[in-house]
Chains A and B, each alone.
Chain A
Amino acid sequence: MAPDIRRGIYRLTGDFSGSVHMTLKSDEDLMLAYREGDAAAFDELYRRHRPRLYRFLAHEAGSSAIGEELYQEAWLRVINARARYQPTARFTTWLYTVAHNVLLDYFRRRGRLSRFEETREELPDAPACPRQEPETVCADAWQASRLRDCLEGLPEEQREAFLLKEQGDFGLDEIAAITGTGAETIKSRVRYAIRKLRQCLEGLL
Chain B
Amino acid sequence: MSQPDDWHDEALSRLYRQMPELTPDPATDAKILAAARRAVGAGPRRFRPWLGGLATAAVVVLAVTLRLEATRPGLATAAPEAAPAAASTAPAIAEAPAAADAKRVETAPQPAPLTAAPALPEKQRVQPQRRYAEPASPAEPLLADQPPPTAEKSVANRPAAESADTRVADAPTPQVREMESDSASRAPTELAAPAPAPKALLSAAPPAGNALFSDPAGNAGASASSKAAASPALSYQDLMGQGKYAAAWDLMMSADSRQSSDPWTTLDQDLLARLTGKATYPRCTVNPPADEMLRNACTLIWASPGSEPQAALRKKLESTLGRDAGHGYWWRAQRDLP
A contact residues vs B (CB 8 Å cutoff): 34, 36-39, 42-43, 46, 50-51, 54-55, 58-59, 64-65, 67-73, 75-76, 79-80, 82-83, 102, 105-106, 108-109, 112, 123-124, 126-127, 140-141, 143-145, 147-148, 165-167, 169, 171-172, 187, 190-191, 194, 197-198, 201, 204-205
Contact = CB atoms under 8 A, between A and B. Distances in A.
A80 B39 contact: yes
A137 to B, nearest CB: 10
A46 B22 contact: no
Interface string B277-316: 0000011011111000000000000000000000000000
B144 interface: no
A143 B22 contact: no
- Chain A at the B interface: SS class: helix
A46 B33 CA distance: 8
A127 B286 CA distance: 30
Contacts of B18: 140-141, 143-144
A89 B196 CA distance: 73
Interface residues of B, number: 42
B20 A166 contact: no
A148 B18 CA distance: 11
B21 A55 contact: yes
Interface in B42-59: 44-46
Given A67-B22, A68-B24, 5 more contacts: A38-B40, A72-B28, A126-B19, A147-B12, A194-B9
Chain B interface secondary structure, helix, strand, loop or mixed? Answer: helix
A144 B39 contact: no
Contact of A43 (B3, B33, B35, B45): B33
20 contacts: A34-B36, A42-B33, A42-B36, A46-B33, A55-B21, A68-B28, A69-B285, A69-B286, A72-B32, A75-B32, A75-B36, A76-B32, A79-B32, A82-B39, A126-B19, A144-B15, A144-B19, A166-B17, A187-B7, A204-B15
A127 B16 CA distance: 15
A143 B33 CA distance: 35
Contacts of B23: 50-51, 54
A171 B2 CA distance: 8
Greatest chain A CB density within 10 A among B7, B13, B25, B46 is at: B7
B95 interface: no
A54 B18 CA distance: 16
A148 B19 contact: yes
B44 A124 contact: no
Top 6 A-B pairs, shortest CB-CB distance: A37-B44, A144-B19, A42-B36, A73-B286, A37-B40, A75-B32
B19 to A, nearest CB: 4
Contact of B1 (A38, A67, A108, A169): A169
A75 B6 CA distance: 34
Contacts of B256: none
Contacts of A109: 285, 289
A102 to B, nearest CB: 8
